[in-house]
Structure 1
Amino acid sequence: MIVDSEAQRASGGRPSTFTSWLRNLSDPDLASLFAVRPDLVTPVPADIASLAARATSRPAVLRVLDRLDRFCLEVLEGLVALGDDRAAVPPGVTRERLGAALDAPAGRLDHALDRLLGAALVWPDAERLRPVAVLRDILTRPAGLGQPLRVLLTARPAARLDRLAADLGLPTGYNGGDPAERISAELARPGRLAALLDEAGADARPVLDRLVWGPPHGTVSGAGRDVSAATAASPIDRLLARGLLVAADDTTVVLPLEVGLHLRGGRLFREDASTPPRPTGPQRPAATVSRAAAGQAFTLIRSVDELLDRWSADPPAVLRSGGLGARDLRRAARELDTDEPTAALFIETAHAAGLLGTDDDVDGDWLPTHDFDVWRAAEPERRWLRLAEAWLRSTRVAALAGSKDARGRSRNILGEGLERRSAPDVRLDVLHALAAAPEGTAPEPASVADHLAWLRPRRQGPAYTELAESALREAGLLGFTGGGTALAPHARALLDELRGADEPLADRRAPRSAALLAPDLPRPLDHILVQGDLTAVAPGPLVPELARELALAADVESTGGATVYRFGAASVRRALDAGRGAADLIGFLERHSRTPLPQPLRYLITDTGRRHGRLRAGTASSYLRCDDPTVLDELAGDRRAADLALFRLAPTVIASRSSRPVLLERLNELGYHAVTETADGSVQLERPTVRRAGGRPVSRAFEEPALPGPGLRAAAVRAVRAGDEAATAARSPIPAPDAAPPRSPTAATMSALAEAAAQGRRVWIGYLDADGRASSRIVEPARVDGGYLTAYDATRAAVHRFAVHRITGVADLGTATPG
């Protein structure tokens, strides 16, 4: 993004500025800047001057600094230290001097400079590189060096400057210019600093050695005392008398930048930080890593599917304060055969992916959304991609569940207090740190921490460490890593695809990460193995239809590589209540079982089916009807049913004064399983209720500005260019005809616009919107009627209607058309 010096000097000899550099960038370079710093186009700035002001604002620059690695920060600190515009004439620093001071490989330095230029933290001024001005206020001690000597001396009294100048053999007073500038120029002469250090004596060197590598200030009593070379009695006095130390106040002395660089031998830093520390750890076979990560990815998919399918029929309630209750979390962990932190992570990930939400009731429930049905019908690898990308972009941290907030209240899953704005960046940092290790390496946590300290030095602290540790643990649970902390091949591909992604990866036609994951995921099976102990084994994931039917007729007993289902009278009755017949159920199991159906299971299904529906409940308040009078005789003689107040209506009918729901519930408790019947006597079966949430969007309040796609970036560039043309175009007022009678400003404006429309030329207008905000527009008038101007607005790239009374001025731009 370096613009050549001829383009920078195209402004007629005026001094180059950061704004003019931005203006001379090509459209692709400007679009690249918006990709690196999406906050600059949120919203789109009005023109280049507004873009420059936003790009150099303190919050925007701090946001970029937090994403720089240690070497980029060192390069930036070197630019600030060596190119200080208060000392350097001209301001800035050459590439050669910066390279010599950093003593880093040329290729890495060029890469760092390209990154800083691409982020508009540095800009080229002819042959010199200049940091944006706000960095001087942010990086107050670049490279551990003090301020330039000229800046330090400016704050000293004039008498002290005259005494120092006299000791250095320089003219005193202001007749020959600024004394601070004369003194700093004298110390900058080759060999002068070395001579002054010799004069200060060997016993003064330890004082300087304590300050040379920072911090550059020390505490001394009476630092502001008046000393001269003749009266200096101590090492510090001799340093002060020669300008090698400068008093900042009565108790503080500062080592000037020039002296510090000389003592360092011209180097900015002790060690070369251009190469990041590589994470190290034990080596794992690549196939083992892939299989282990894919197995955990499948566990995630299956767990989310099973849990949300259960919650569709029996959803947990939303707490009054929001979130999911601790009891419901424990139940979910028990059903998924895992621990509570893992269940919490799966639930939060499903919520971030838009698969889980709340309904519209006041006392709401947590329910699957309609997207859940679409998600479970997709291929397994795409289902994982949606969950993985949602976790990477979510600002919610499941590991914080159960911790206390500032008011001492416990934080709940899906509730408030789990948001951390930096969580997505930390997760990507951790994955990139793992990707920095050779493939198949499972890095040790300590080596990952060392790499992160280099990758994000400004973010280090307890909060960052906690987020990084949880991200490393969660990456293993979600299928990013296998064999410990070794990054799987599909996770490496996912990181590459996330760069510049304009749409969700799961919606892409052929994502490479999905293609790498698919062969290692178990394929859905259409068969089971029914065993003689009333269990069925699913040796892998089942096709959706088989999984739903089997879950209806049997209960999950254990999960793992294979899922074990157990048949019982209650589970078989559940299938019969849902409308399956005994013969249909037996036939279904025979079709899908690779083993013969054992006789005990046939008896269980047949006996349960024979008893199912023999009793039928109605309303009398309610009644019971049975074709076998002996069953009713047994019920009528059962003392436990006395509270139902049963009485005989006919040999095959008994009535009750209890309502039908109460009667059914009580009979189930007593072991008499009745079914309801309609008014015409047919059996009324109740299918499982499938409920869905209203699909409310997941909150994005804590997320960073989204990366704009190529189309949005190109549109933003066009808008900024058009706005800048409107703000900077040379324009001349349109006078009224000499012989015309006096007219109001509005009438003159309408006449000028109508003439421009007739001649087909562009004009500049000043316009006030409905909120009173003034803006400059370049428009191509089409017609003026009814107090409105209809014109093509080049600033907005659209046809627009302008109220004439809001137009503050009109100026001619000539007949040139836009480029």
Structure 2
Amino acid sequence: MLDVRPDCACAPDPRTLGELADRLQRPGSVARALPLLPLPCLQVAEALAALGASAPRTELESLLGTESARLDTALRTLSAHALVWPGPDGVLHMATALRDAWETPLGLGPGLDELLSGMTSEELRRIATTLGLTPGTRKRERLDAVLAHHRAPDRLRVLIDSAPPRARDLLERRIRLERTPVMYGSASESPAERWLLDRVLLVGRKWSVEPARVPAEVTRALRGPGWYAPFDPAPPEIPLVSLTASDVEGEAAAAAVSFTGQAGALLGECAARPVAALKSGGVGARELARLGKVVGCDEPVVRLVLETAYATGLMAYEKRALSVTEAYDGWAGQDPADQFTSLLHAWWLLGRTPSGSRDDDGKALPAVGRTSPCTSCLAARHGLVTATAGLSESHGVRDPADLGPLVTWHRPLAHELPQDTTPFACLIREAELLGVLAHGAVSPFGAALLHDDEDLLRTHARRLLPSAASKAHIGADLTAVVMGTPTSRLAALLDSLADREVHGTASVWRFGPSSLRRALDAGRTPAEIQADLSDAADGPLPQPLTYLIADTARKHGRLRLATTACAIHSDDTALLAEIAAHRKLSRLGLRSLAPTVLLCRTPLPTALDALRAEGYAPVAEAEDGAVRLEGAQQARATQLLPRPRQRPRRTAPTPGLALRLLSAPDHEPHPDPGHGIPFQTDTEEILACYAKALNLTDIRQLAHAIHEHEPITVEYLAVSGNRTIRTVSELELDPPLLSAYCHLREDQRVFTLSRIQAVMPV
């Protein structure tokens, strides 16, 4: 139970079974457990809620119209999650917070027992007499007699059939949720309403403006003897195709290699030029399109790489830009298998669907927006892999779109994107891009994720992904081709000497005068360039490339620009004369001072760009006359803002915790200074004095978060009366206030302790 409800075992550890039970009953904890349940469990829970949160198992079977054996799996799952459990008398009970999850379970509304609880004994006597029953002398006897009559469907249908036509029409309208207020005992009652109220086919409170309610027993009787609550114990059947393990592994490996190559190229582009962020936060569609065009991949891939890199800590926001961090340099030097493992594991724990690009109104959504985690998105991802793993062995789906109904059955509360043309289409596509699904089956990567085994995931990645390529094939057409993922050293070398044209399973670079000039501008000599390329090539360098290097080097530096505003000088007088007469360079304001010197009225950087755009190869001089090197600046983000969406890896509770709980006393007195029972810490005692809405469990967890400087989620009641759920960190206690960084507002906020209604671990 601690494994499936890990939030109840978060620090500080519960000290007794009573405290653990208190954590399990919290609405927030129950709400976290629901998205992980399959459809039959939710159907059984809703049916039990319709019966009043506790009922004999036979009544539940009758309502669902199913055999006892078909309920076993769902009830075992609910019991393992501490949501539904059998009592010593055989009656099934459910958590109060779970019962409150439905306002009108199965559309039946409250039961007759609940509706009649506020009636007096005399009112119950009149009702029993009207129904032709023998009323007892005590209130409980009269209530039991009325309940027994209405819980017999045959007798209740006979009573409804005897109703006057207008009363029958009114009852059916009320079941269709027509909320016309009916005032019990008021002058506005019609004879039809009076007839229904006297026989408790409608129940209202005397002189209340609340509309009268239809008891659940009456609604069930009107639905007929053939109606049962929905129950689907088996997942939907979908067409399958036979597959071999090699088919799945080959497809998964190809997808992983392609994604890793695209991720390396995309993050390399981000390292050279930080990604501009919107004022409202996140990366906009225009910047996403630019990155996709540079790298040569679709927008979903760009979003997927940026989101996983941000969650892994390879990127961070700094000064309204998304930049790579120092961790990127270490990641870029890793083997492709390790690079892929870190990004894939981040995707598995990500609290949103990265490829979601549209909201409910069809407007574009930014990528890497600092929003709160989406539990249902995470449940959908895990449900997709769980559903696919449950298919027959050596089989996959014929059409990946068929996996949508399976996900809906395994995770009915999971979130679908507004842009999905078929159920969970974007999520399924993400899993295919990452190699988690291949040919409609779960790959070894997906199986490792499902078992939450990062070491096994890395083992499969190293087995299926080739090692980084350290050699390139350089052809006479002035291209360099690398099959697979290049090493960071090889990629950096080719990026500095050539322009990359193709990314993916094979990468292609093309050499040209401008690309070689970049290396010469950075201070590299022709001999060094040829030597580095010879070491990186899988054969001798082709003659056209050596000629191109020599020709570019010969032209390089023949023009020299000095900082004035600026001056251009060269020993080649003919070249200077040509530049002075060049019509497209007339905007630079050139004037000859001497046969070897031209005065330029344009700043040096602009003059450099203009001359290079026209095919010349000038260099800039430093103040001492030496050639100024133009090495690329490696910008790295240093100011890491809090990232609430980064979900920590879930760790299983230690067996020691279970043993301690089982050996602890059944009851532990609550701290109460008035009775001499001390709190464990002064912080707990202070919080208990001010945070009156919190129980002992909440106080302990809030005090622990303050002491350990850990984030925590709070339910806060604002002055306006609105309730909000906020994740806060950097907590500082200043009674009666609590200062913290609010991840919802992305700013420092002050909270009043008395307005904190509940707390939950992040």
TM-score after normalising by structure 1: 0.68
- Give the secondary-structure state (helix, strand or coil) at the position aligned to 1:448: helix
| Structure 1 residues 759-797: Cα deviation after superposition (integer angstroms, max 9, x where no partner) | xxxx8679864973349xxxxxxxxxxxxxxxxxxx99x
CA distance in structure 2 between the aligned counterparts of 1:148 and 1:384, rounded to whole angstroms:
55
Shift of residue 691, structure 1, vs aligned partner: 1.5
Moved more, 346-355 or 168-177: 168-177
Paired with 2:228 and 2:314, the residues of 1 have a C-alpha distance of 51
CA contact (8 A) 1:311 1:368 kept: yes
Q: Partners of 2:247 and 2:323 in 1: how far apart?
A: 37
> Is 2:505 the partner of 1:546?
no
Instruction: Please identify, of 410-419 and 297-306, the stretch whose mean Cα deviation from structure 2 is larger.
Output: 410-419
Alignment of 1:42-61 (within 5 A): 52-61=21-30
Report the TM-score, using the length of structure 2 for normalisation. Answer: 0.73
1:69 corresponds in structure 2 to 38
Q: Which amino acid aligns with 2:593?
A: F
Q: Distance in 2 between matches of 1:694 and 1:717?
A: 43
Q: Secondary structure at the match of 2:424?
A: helix
Match of 2:437 in 1: 481
Alignment-mate amino acid for residue 181 of structure 1: D
Counterpart-to-counterpart distance in 2, 1:770 and 1:36: 25
Q: 1:134 to 1:404 in 2, by over 3 A?
A: closer
User: What are the superposed Cα offsets for residues 562-605 of structure 1, whole Å, 9 maximum, x if unpaired?
Assistant: 32221111111112222332123223333433354332222111
Matches of 2:359 and 2:156, distance apart in 1: 61
Matches within 5 A, 1:388-399: 388-399=344-355
Per the alignment, residue 294 of structure 2 pairs with: 335
Give the CA deviation at 1:36: 0.9
1:637-689 deviation line (CA, Å, top 9, x unaligned)? 667467233422xx766666665445434433444322234566543322222
Most deviating of 616-625 and 707-716? 707-716
In structure 1, what is the Cα distance between the partners aligned to 2:109 and 2:573?
103
In structure 1, what is the Cα distance between the partners aligned to 2:575 and 2:510?
Answer: 29
Alignment-derived partner of residue 687 in structure 2: 773
- Assess if the C-alpha contact under 8 Å between 1:531 and 1:598 holds in 2: yes
Within 1, Cα distance between the matches of 2:682 and 2:415? Answer: 47
Distance 2:159 2:57 in 1: 34
The Cα shift of 1:535 comes to 1.9
For 1:647, the equivalent position in structure 2 comes to 593
1:695-706 counterparts in 2 under 5 A? Answer: 696-697=640-641, 699-700=643-644
Q: 2:93 aligns with which of 98, 115, 130?
A: 130
**SS of match in other structure, 1:696:** coil
- CA gap of 1:401–1:532, structure 2 versus 1, over 3 A, is same
Q: Using the alignment, how far apart are the partners of 2:159 and 2:688 within structure 1?
A: 64
Q: CA deviation at 1:606?
A: 0.8
Q: 2:248 aligns with which of 260, 284, 289?
A: 289
Native 8 Å contact 1:46 1:719 kept in 2: no
| 1:326-475 correspondence to structure 2 within 5 Å | 326-359=285-318, 362=319, 364-401=320-357, 411-415=365-369, 420=374, 422-438=376-392, 439-442=394-397, 444=399, 447-458=402-413, 468-475=424-431
Name which of 530, 538, 546 aligns with 2:474. Answer: 530
The residue aligned with 1:566 is 510
How far is the alpha carbon of 1:373 from its aligned partner? Answer: 1.2
Q: Secondary structure at the match of 2:630?
A: coil
User: How far is the alpha carbon of 1:514 from its aligned partner?
Assistant: 2.7
C-alpha distance in structure 2 between counterparts of 1:592 and 1:135, whole Å: 64
The 3-state SS of whatever aligns with 1:684 is coil
Q: Distance in 1 between matches of 2:37 and 2:161?
A: 42
Task: Select 2:81's aligned residue among 94, 102, 119.
Answer: 119
- Change in Cα spacing, 1:607 to 1:99, as seen in structure 2 (3 Å) is same
Match of 1:710 in 2: 653
Which consecutive residues of structure 2, in runs of 5 or more, have no partner in the other structure? 186-190, 690-702, 708-762
Flag the 1:105–1:280 CA change in 2: closer, same or farther, 3 A: farther
Q: Which residue of 1 aligns with 2:716?
A: none
Take 1:543 and 1:724, find their aligned partners in 2: how far apart are those partners?
A: 61
- How do 1:578-593 and structure 2 match up within 5 A? 578-593=522-537
Q: How far apart in 2 are the matches of 1:560 and 1:271?
A: 48
Identify the residue that residue 7 of structure 2 maps to in structure 1: 38
Matches within 5 A, 1:222-241: none
* CA distance in structure 2 between the aligned counterparts of 1:513 and 1:159, rounded to whole angstroms: 70
SS at match of 1:412: coil
User: C-alpha distance in 2, partners of 1:462/1:433?
Assistant: 19
Supply the AA of the counterpart residue of 2:281. G
Which is greater in Rg? Answer: 1
Q: Which amino acid letter does the alignment assign opposite residue 514 of structure 1?
A: R
Q: Deviations over 1:695-742 (max 9, x none)?
A: 615621x67897455359939977996996353899998xxxxxxxxx
* Segment drifting more, 248-257 vs 337-346: 248-257
Cα distance in 1 for residues equivalent to 2:120 and 2:684: 55
Change (3 A) 1:720 1:66: farther
Q: In structure 1, give the amino acid aligned to 2:538.
A: R
Q: CA deviation at 1:165?
A: 3.3
For the residue of structure 2 that corresponds to 1:727, the secondary structure is coil
In the superposition, relative to structure 1, how do residues 58 and 596 fare at CA in structure 2: closer, same or farther (>3 Å)? closer
The answer as to whether partners of 2:335 and 2:467 remain within 8 angstroms in 1 is no
1:361-391 deviation line (CA, Å, top 9, x unaligned): x4x4432111111112222222112212222
In structure 2, do the counterparts of structure 1 residues 445 and 221 end up closer, same or farther at CA, with 3 Å as the change threshold?
A: farther
Q: 2:448 aligns with which of 489, 493, 501?
A: 493
Give the 5 Å matches for 1:639-678. 640=585, 643-648=589-594, 660-678=604-622
1:764 and 1:398, CA in 2 relative to 1: closer, same or farther beyond 3 A? closer
Task: Give CA-to-partner distance per residue, 1:308-341, whole Å, 9 cap, x none.
Answer: 2223223343343333344432221111212334
Indicate whether 1:725 and 2:668 are aligned: yes
8 Å CA contact retained: 1:38, 1:707: no
Question: What does 1:149-188 align with in structure 2 at a 5 Å threshold?
Answer: 149-153=112-116, 161-162=124-125, 164-166=127-129, 170-172=133-135, 174=137, 178-185=141-148
Aligned to 1:275: 234
**Distance change (3 Å), C-alpha of 1:698 and 1:440:** farther
- Spell out, residue by residue over 1:11-61, the C-alpha distance to the aligned partner (whole angstroms, 9 max, x if none): xxxxxxxxxxxxxxxxxx6x44xx515167477678766654554344443
The CA deviation at 1:431 is: 2.8
Contact 2:52/2:111 (<8 A) preserved: no
Task: Give the whole-Å Cα distance in 2 for the aligned partners of 1:217 and 1:331.
Answer: 53
Please tell me whether the aligned partners of residues 417 and 424 of structure 2 are also in contact (alpha carbons under 8 angstroms): no
| Structure 2: distance between partners of 1:271 and 1:715 | 37
CA 1:625 to 1:437, structure 2 compared with 1: closer, same or farther past 3 Å? Answer: same
| 1:555 counterpart = 2:524 | no
Q: Does the Cα contact within 8 Å between 1:316 and 1:324 map onto a contact in 2?
A: yes
User: What residue is the counterpart of 1:575 in the other structure?
Assistant: 519
